[in-house]
Amino acid sequence: MSRFTEPQDADFRAINDSLGFDRRLAPYDVRQSRAHAAMLAARGIISGADLDALDRALDRVERELSDGSFPFAEGDEDIHMAIERRVTEIAGSVGGKLHTARSRNDQVATDMAMFVRARAEAARAAIVRLARTLVDVAQAHIDWPMPGYTHLQRAQPVYLSHHLLTYVWMLARDRARFDQVVAAADVLPLGAGALAGVNFDTDRELVARELGFAAVAENSIDAVSNRDFVLDYLAAAATCATHLSRLGAEIVMWSSQEFGFCEVSDAWASGSSIMPQKKNPDAAELLRGKAPRVAGHLVALHGVMHALPLTYNKDMQEDKEHLFDAADTLELCLAAAEGMLGSITFHRERLAAAASDEFLAATDIADLLVRRGLPFREAHGVVAALVGAAVRQGKALSALTPEELAEQSPLLDDEFYAVLRDGAWLESKVSAGGTSLRRVREQIERARAALR
């Protein structure tokens, strides 16, 4: 008789059981069980006949799990216990040998590492797809002028291509972050046992090779305590989702009648239940709205791990739902951003009209004076006075008379008017990484190379 004489309370089961969500780990749990059993046989810890029986039972479990016929039972606390119970039902008492030299502590850490690695790879692939779509959209709008903004005030004109490519570089950094997540999850916990190692001369390298891990965790205590790779995934996901929120927010703004810069396709918009004239860019709004949820999962897991004594504590079961929801949310957002951007229409005239606001050339006028020898700070003051005069009189900069120019500086002549004529303000941005066409073309080449 075990020390337990009373049944578990229903509410204890409700708070303690993780089967409701950790059944998603099933494919990884089966794979690692196969590798573990093969290693036990290779080391003579179980017999070849035992291994065959375990493998056959695992085959059937795998089939049942994938066709939905796996019989979950009342007492199954988590996916690990459910699979082991079922293997034993199928194979008989030999099923009980599967858990030799293994604990659920190293087992769950291994499932989680496998899950993180798979989903980090999926995120990385989705990031590259979205980034390539953005490069294509940039290429298609390479010379479309638009206002660049600071403080959401028109600042200096840029090409739409240049603006969109910004997101490509954000995504390139996101991809690099996920590379690091993959590396962090590439160390095998299995073999650590509950915490101290196991009483058998196991071959962890063999298991690592079988499951595609690059290395074996060096310290058994660390192996079962470590959830860094989950935090790393959540951190990378949170940053990426935050990037997508900025993209979404801009599409929302630009789709408004006030901006009128773009329109999302019908496939990526909804109507209103009451206002028939409306076309709402919901997906873009949700890129904005879903990002904090991913960041929230990161903060929540930091809370779970904070000050947690070594090694495994049941608190750590709380890593799963945060990770699962973050991965689902991020991949959905990446796919939505790709679909929406791939079918969006930009309005050239609206963008050009906003970009030809002459005040956007204020810095260029100041630089004209700089080229004539005036220190930039003084040139800034001269142009500020010209802008003030134009704003007060409600007219454009080019409508200021030569006399009004002369009042502010003797260095201003007809070139002032030439600078204000469209186009030159963009093509003069010749510095590396700037908005001139030559530089944007260069940038597109570099972006494509970075995404290869």
**Cα gap 373→366, rounded to integer Å:** 11
The interface mask with ligand ARG, positions 58-97, x = CB under 6 A, is --------------------x-------------------
Closest by CA to 153, choosing from 14, 357, 329, is: 357
Q: Which of residues 98, 126, 238, 316 is near ligand ARG by CB under 6 A?
A: 316
Q: C-beta of 84: minimal distance to ligand ARG in Å?
A: 12
User: Which residue is associated with the tokens 């690695």?
Assistant: 117
Cβ at position 147, least distance to ligand ARG in Å: 52
Helical pair 48-67 and 26-42, crossing angle rounded to 10 deg: 170
Q: Which of 133, 135, 142, 187 has its CA nearest to residue 161?
A: 142
Stretch that binds ligand ARG, among 116-124, 209-217, 309-317, 340-348 (CB under 6 A): 309-317
In the three-class reduction of DSSP (H, G, I as helix; E, B as strand; rest coil), residue 324 is classed as helix
Strands (E) across 87-196 are located at 145-150, 153-159, 187-188
Residue 11: phi, psi to the nearest 5?
Answer: -70, -30
- Written as six digits, the tokens of 306 are 């904070």
Interacting span for ligand ARG (CB under 6 A) from 59-67, 102-110, 215-223, 353-361: 102-110
For position 161 contacting ligand ARG by CB under 6 A, the verdict is: no
272 given a catalytic annotation: yes
- Chain mean position to CA 40: 39
Marked catalytic residue, from 151, 273, 306, 431: 151
Residue 115 engages ligand ARG in binding (rule: CB under 6 A) = no
Closest CB 309 distance from ligand ARG, rounded Å: 14
x/- mask, ligand ARG, residues 5-34, rule CB under 6 A, reads -------------x---x------------
Place of tokens 């390539």: 132
Among 65, 90, 101, 108, binds ligand ARG (CB under 6 A): 108
* Residue of 193, 194, 187, 195 whose CA lies nearest to 218: 187
108: which 2 tokens? 């769950």
Size of the site for ligand ARG (CB under 6 A): 9
| Residue 41 C-beta: closest distance to ligand ARG, Å | 25
Which of 194, 269 has the CB closer to ligand ARG?
Answer: 194
- Confirm or reject binding of residue 317 to ligand ARG (CB under 6 A): yes
Q: Evaluate whether 439 touches 433 at the Cβ level (below 8 Å).
A: yes
Catalytic position from the list 256, 265, 270, 272: 272
Residue 202 in contact with ligand ARG, rule: CB under 6 A: no
Is residue 162 part of the annotated active site? The answer reads: no
Cα 285 from Cα 340, distance rounded (Å):
12
Using the rule CB under 6 A, which residue among 28, 178, 268, 312 binds ligand ARG? 312
Place of tokens 């989705």: 126
State the catalytic residues.
Answer: 151, 272
Binding site for ligand ARG (CB under 6 A): 18, 22, 78, 104-105, 108, 312, 316-317
